[in-house]
């Protein structure tokens, strides 16, 4: 059960980083989905009941819904770190 919790936490952190960080959102979101697929594989491997498709689905669905909702937050201007303003050198 600890591994399942760590997998879901990794997917949540990856989605948070992908949507609220600075940089290209699309590439980061694709990387977050790849992390979700890896976490789904790890979850299915640990549980070992032959239900790896279920774990792939749940982790990918978690990543997609979290990223989608955080993109709405991002559109209002919120980021993880404040953007530093350029300082004019005189």
Mean pLDDT, residues 44-50 taken together: 78
Share of the chain above pLDDT 70, in %: 86
Please state, in angstroms and rounded to a whole number, the distance separating the CA atoms of residues 5 and 2: 5
Report angle CA 78, 74, 83 to the nearest 5 degrees: 45
Mean pLDDT, residues 2-18 taken together: 88
In this prediction, residue 78 has a pLDDT band, given cuts at 50, 70 and 90, of confident
In this prediction, residue 87 has a pLDDT band, given cuts at 50, 70 and 90, of low
pLDDT at 23: 80
Please state, in angstroms and rounded to a whole number, the distance separating the CA atoms of residues 35 and 23: 18
Give, in order, the Cα–Cα distances in Å from 40 to each of 3, 20, 59, 65.
Answer: 11, 23, 6, 15
Question: Any idea where the domains of the chain sit in the sequence?
Answer: 2-11+22-75
Mean pLDDT, residues 57-61 taken together: 87
Mean pLDDT, residues 36-53 taken together: 81
């Amino acid at each position: 059960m600890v591994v399942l919790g760590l997998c879901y936490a990794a997917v949540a952190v990856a989605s948070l980083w992908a949507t609220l960080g600075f940089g290209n959102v699309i590439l980061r979101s694709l990387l977050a989905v790849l992390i979700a697929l890896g976490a789904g594989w790890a979850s299915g491997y640990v549980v070992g009941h032959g239900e790896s498709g279920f774990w792939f689905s749940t982790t990918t669905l978690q990543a997609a819904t979290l990223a989608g909702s955080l993109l709405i937050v991002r559109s209002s201007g919120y980021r993880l770190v404040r953007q530093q303003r350029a300082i004019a050198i005189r």
